[in-house]
Amino acid sequence: QVQLVESGGGSVQPGGSLRLSCVASGFSLDYYAIGWFRQAPGKEREGVFCISGSDDSTYYATPVKGRFTISRDNTKNTGYLQMNNLKPEDTAVYYCATIRGGCPILAPKYFDTWGRGTQVTVSS
């Protein structure tokens, strides 16, 4: 069964850090792009970061520039999103998603396998 499972979410104060993990099962992440998305209440799901499955190049959304990083460990079949200097506006459910090959446009419709999400809350 093809599955993605996110973990690592939680509640932190502004300026704090979290590392999200995305573990794949039922398939190998080799050659798959891993995308991270988030959805805040009442808002559309938006792309945050992507790492290519072909050359590990990365792409990010402007709001997370300099604060988030993406990585992968294919030996563990896992992708990661390191989030530093978190802000209240980062509060959302975070999802990982995959598509074979390089990173497409960072929009949900271009990814075909999704996890169920993990909640991130940034509040003082």
Say what the pLDDT of residue 20 is. Answer: 98
For 3-44, the pLDDT digits (tens) are 999 999 999 999 999 999 999 999 999 999 999 999 999 999
CA-based angle 40:35:124, to the nearest 5? 35
Q: From the CB of residue 87, how many other CB atoms can be counted at a distance below 10 Å?
A: 14
Say what the pLDDT of residue 77 is. Answer: 97
Average predicted confidence (pLDDT) for the chain: 97
Distance (Å) of CA 41 to CA 9, 94, 119: 16, 12, 11
Say what the pLDDT of residue 66 is. Answer: 96
